[in-house]
Homo-oligomer: A and B are copies of this chain.
Amino acid sequence: MSDTNTRPATAVVLFTMDRGLKVLLVGGSRWHLPCGPVEDGESLAACAKRMVTNAVRHSEIYLEQLYTFDGATLGTQGTGIVVTYYALAPLDKVGIPDRDSRWFALADAPALPDGHQRIVDCAGDRLTAKLAYTTIAHQFLPDQFTLAELQAVYEAISQQPLDKRNFRRRLQSSDHLVETGGIRRDGRHRPARLYRLRQPDQVAALRQGNPK
């Protein structure tokens, strides 16, 4: 018997960047996405955040709602609805997950329970799409970063190599990057300049000034 009176749950697709894009799965009997029912008095976002914090030791991560599934859209017989989120974090924040959590590349993730694969795919699509018109890629990087690092993030997500010069030109003429003045020495070669992301309100202010 169907019963929509069950608690809604949240499920989270947490990505990080570690030599390619990785997804966090939690184990036990079988690998699946971090998920669980909303508790009394808890908001949806808070619940999703809790799912993440349960698996990795960090709560300051980028979190965005993805889609809301029910038995029909998830392809399961289950009753109740699942509000899904995706989350992004740089590796240095979430590098060591809990004992029964692990990072998987999208290509070689294990079989997931009904519907979970669908959610992962959906998150991947959204991530790829937002790469083009947002600064979402920066969620995988620390505050200061080099252009080569940023390019590596773009290449990992879009799964295609990018031309270095065109990439730099595009990004540098986008108002979003500020050169910090710092450099990073990283081996026996020319050091790289460091950049940081300009705050969105400052970008807006800048454009007001240059309404070109």
* Residues in chain A within 8 A of chain B (CB atoms): 1-5, 7-8, 38-46, 65, 67-68, 70-73, 81, 83
Contacts and interface: CB of A to CB of B under 8 A. Distances in A.
Contact of A41 (B4, B8, B45, B68): B4
A72 B73 CA distance: 25
B40 A68 contact: no
Of A8, A42, A71, which is in contact with the most chain B CB atoms at under 10 Å from its CB?
A: A8
A83 B83 CA distance: 9
- Main DSSP-derived SS at the A contact region: loop
B73 A45 contact: yes
A91 B113 CA distance: 43
A46 B41 CA distance: 28
Nearest to A133: B129
- Top 9 nearest A-B pairs (CB, nearest first) are A2-B41, A43-B72, A68-B68, A44-B70, A4-B38, A68-B83, A43-B70, A2-B40, A4-B7
A81 B70 CA distance: 14
Nearest to A46: B72
A43 B2 CA distance: 10
Nearest to A79: B41
11 contacts: A1-B41, A2-B41, A2-B42, A4-B7, A4-B8, A4-B40, A43-B70, A44-B68, A44-B81, A45-B73, A46-B72
Nearest to A10: B68
A38 B38 CA distance: 18
Given A43-B71, A68-B68, A5 B5 contact: yes
Contact of A39 (B1, B4, B67, B70): B4
